[in-house]
Structure 1
């Protein structure tokens, strides 16, 4: 049996199961939530307030109903604020789970401190074949220099170490890992990647973008057991911060199969809009299988994630002109220009939405140009195609998103994390088109928002805060970083609800609490529409409900 026929057989069985399932853990009795301070958006994006919510069979029946069934279960909300479950429009679900299960270097202040944390983690996990972690960011270290294998070698040399940068576009490894991968001074840089070298040409231990594959390809493969542990950890965390749905930005066929199995067993903790990875060798077979949407809306697969360039922090973002702080570098293209037409035609021709990672202004222009060409030949403009990140855009290209109906899928906390680095990288003039949320939303295009977890922390209230204030959580800079691009709280809320649902073709069932939509909602401890903007990030989730079932309660969860 061919691979294509095998995929058809497996996924047709899963599809049949998904379509015949009853909704995910739906309670039979109608429930009325009373005494709440509720907010939602209607289908036109207008903010509504309400004080009671009637749900039945996991879906919203009405807001502030005039009549209530006699046998309804009543729940007193004790005047707490009730919001729709928040949607993260760009994250990496199992990556978050893996990050929660590995050494976290996000708060390290020096290379040496990060190495010590790795050593401490290794001592407590002697059974692990590889020591893995994530989160280092040389821009937060005093010397702002890339780390080295030598520093890791001083604390752990008998096991390979693999530490991804906070943006996921670079890896820091020790000499053991370099040796195992056969990386030497004679190893050429792969296309779309770079081996950082010292003055003598020797690898230093940092691998950029496609060069990461040189070590990644020899690491132990993921297993269903590990996937399950990651899924459990990530799901528990997301529900605790109020995220009930997320867009998983790039899954291969192993995760595709894993999600199908978990969906068939009704074991997905949050709703997943999954993007197939364009680099997966079985992409044609997955596309040929077609769109998959479970009856309970916990799994929806109808898009492809492609990769244009790297990240700004590691100078991998592809720029039209050189980096201001590295005049001989223009960044990296992870998908080569000659491969664009076939990829766009393949994805759009199969009726799948194409979501293209583009951070630098060159990558953004190339993606927009290719969308424009493909729309004129193959069509597909109505698929709500997206540019993921859309961070640095030439000012002449900003209006093209709305003109082409291509959605900029953006992450507010990227701006507040990058504010100490971005202007150094691209100079002040190019900042006019960078992190330009307000300009884009004013052009008339929907603006789905997310976090890119685990690159950034998953808490959506951090994203809402950053979008409104253009400040970090220490209220810096005082007047906001390029504050003219700040959003109103209503616009930011729409980005994490209705616009995110729209970007996933799910506004019919998610993104608000209007009648007919799933009863996904959260109770929180403060009113984000009336508290000082600088305090939005402090919002705590009290309860999270999915399809009318309570799935998180801060008062009963062991911290």
Structure 2
């Protein structure tokens, strides 16, 4: 079966400038791209007139949290513009479809205390005013921290005597009673495990339901950066979801701490041999620090209140994780937002030989604060690094960044232009739903922020680090495919998968202010139309 798509504005994705007017797909692959299609028309089964529409390779979100997204889609958005105070949050939670359904969790996501009228995080007292009979769980905007009501704490077995987990903190009132606020990932996991252990079947349903969300955004492949072994295996969740209709391709990165007890089982832990399978186990994820908006990213210079954040791993612990990735031929994805955290990564790894040939051996996730010296070290290191970063944070969290960072630090955030000039492989991604925006994984908001450097409130941050639209699209297609192990995606060239999107507007020509409003008209995966407006 051959299909010709003609009269289009097709961005091939090979470089910044290469476009064509037509392409032919055969079964699940690109057969041909070019301009002179008329000589090939005799062998065509179907012809589609694009009517000058812009076509991009299928978009790839190489750092996201699909399980969290699936939860969020049926949960309550505790973000602006609808939720701007704890009182409004309480009202919104009472509108959740689960409200009043005994035994079901009420879930929310996206609050940022700097954006709330009370200028504080909600606590167990606030959430108990919504319900004391149903457990309530709400992610903070960074998805590192969270808050639960008394029922959630009870189900998780958290009380005044529960010790803080390594790398996390159970916040407490002066009396010693937990406030419900769980700071950082390891503390948040105490609530997540209680929630997930009771709802695997619902988790599968939610994941299947999220498929259309990705396709609507033109996302054909995703990097799952929080793979788990407990209370169930993340790969099993995806396999069961695929059987029931989940469409995007998935690269799974297991959180290292989750597999410590399974090293014997993982003796042959590596990227799956089946190159074209929908799921690949690509790597492991580790955390060096926290987040800027949570004031826990590890920085060289202190925040404006004198804090410097948290460093989770010393040199010996980092080496152990690097050795594990190298031994099992896995990519290592390192969460490092602050410049001090990035410095620690480079000190331990820059002189090592890369162990992967098809993609960078080490991905630095976020790399929010980058000095000129750090960029130079990334460029000249023996190790081959990639940077996966999120301009949506700049767009949605400018209030937090301005509150915590000084002027000099603000000039060092999301240095996209400098990274591209240094020829450091770069991908843009969402880290969704880990930001206080109602569309946290819209590629078009990210592209808008990467190009304009403007926040949602109109603030311009380090304009010199803006990049071109073409570069931003490459960072969501070709460059993302290289980094994330999606070797059959990222370009519309003969032999590649026929995964592409058709847009409502010409993203390369519209005024910048309209980029964030672009819609996906159609999404195609494996040569089949899987979404249309």
Q: Deviations over 1:385-408 (max 9, x none)?
A: 201111123442122222232111
Q: 1:125 to 1:272 in 2, by over 3 A?
A: farther
Q: 1:473 to 1:180 in 2, by over 3 A?
A: closer
Q: Check whether the contact 2:252–2:280 (CA below 8 A) recurs between aligned residues.
A: yes
Q: Check whether the contact 2:102–2:134 (CA below 8 A) recurs between aligned residues.
A: no
Q: 1:192 to 1:78 in 2, by over 3 A?
A: same
Deviates more, 1:115-124 or 1:302-311: 115-124
The aligned runs of 1:83-98 (5 Å cut-off) are 83-98=56-71
Q: 1:123 to 1:98 in 2, by over 3 A?
A: closer
SS at the partner of 1:82? strand
Aligned partner (choices 127, 130, 135) of residue 155 of structure 1: 130
Q: Check whether the contact 2:221–2:248 (CA below 8 A) recurs between aligned residues.
A: yes
Deviates more, 1:148-157 or 1:52-61: 148-157
Q: 1:75 to 1:347 in 2, by over 3 A?
A: same
Within 2, Cα distance between the matches of 1:55 and 1:196? 56
Q: Which residue of 1 aligns with 2:377?
A: 400
Aligned partner (choices 435, 440, 464) of residue 414 of structure 2: 435
Q: Deviations over 1:412-448 (max 9, x none)?
A: 1111122112132131222332211111111111111
The aligned runs of 1:42-441 (5 Å cut-off) are 42=14, 45-64=15-34, 65=37, 66-107=39-80, 108-121=83-96, 124-181=99-156, 183-185=158-160, 187-209=162-184, 210-221=186-197, 224-253=200-229, 254-260=233-239, 265=243, 267-281=245-259, 284=263, 285-286=265-266, 288-325=268-305, 327=306, 329-372=307-350, 375=352, 379=355, 383-384=359-360, 385-404=362-381, 405-441=384-420
Q: Check whether the contact 2:204–2:240 (CA below 8 A) recurs between aligned residues.
A: no
- Cα offset, 1:246, TM superposition: 1.4
SS at the partner of 1:399? helix
Gaps of 5+ in 1: 1-28, 555-559
Q: Which residue of 1 aligns with 2:477?
A: 497
Q: Check whether the contact 1:274–1:300 (CA below 8 A) recurs between aligned residues.
A: yes
Within 1, Cα distance between the matches of 2:244 and 2:278? 8
SS at the partner of 2:348? helix
Task: Note if 1:545 corresponds to 2:524.
Answer: yes
Q: 1:181 to 1:267 in 2, by over 3 A?
A: closer
Q: Which residue of 2 aligns with 1:459?
A: 442
Within 2, Cα distance between the matches of 1:504 and 1:48? 23
Aligned length: 515
Q: Check whether the contact 2:217–2:520 (CA below 8 A) recurs between aligned residues.
A: yes
Q: Check whether the contact 1:349–1:380 (CA below 8 A) recurs between aligned residues.
A: no
SS at the partner of 1:319? coil
Within 2, Cα distance between the matches of 1:510 and 1:293? 17
Task: Note if 1:33 corresponds to 2:16.
Answer: no
Q: 1:311 to 1:262 in 2, by over 3 A?
A: same
Within 2, Cα distance between the matches of 1:46 and 1:180? 52
Q: Check whether the contact 2:13–2:56 (CA below 8 A) recurs between aligned residues.
A: no
Q: Deviations over 1:216-237 (max 9, x none)?
A: 4433516552232122222110
Within 2, Cα distance between the matches of 1:413 and 1:67? 43
SS at the partner of 2:43? coil
Gaps of 5+ in 2: none
Q: 1:300 to 1:380 in 2, by over 3 A?
A: closer
Q: Check whether the contact 1:95–1:230 (CA below 8 A) recurs between aligned residues.
A: no
Deviates more, 1:45-54 or 1:491-500: 45-54
SS at the partner of 1:218? helix
Q: Check whether the contact 1:192–1:335 (CA below 8 A) recurs between aligned residues.
A: no
SS at the partner of 1:212? helix
Within 1, Cα distance between the matches of 2:379 and 2:136? 44
SS at the partner of 1:275? strand
- Cα offset, 1:91, TM superposition: 0.7
Q: 1:222 to 1:459 in 2, by over 3 A?
A: farther
SS at the partner of 1:523? strand
Q: Which residue of 2 aligns with 1:15?
A: none
Superposed CA RMSD: 2.4
Q: Which residue of 2 aligns with 1:4?
A: none
TM-score (norm 2): 0.90
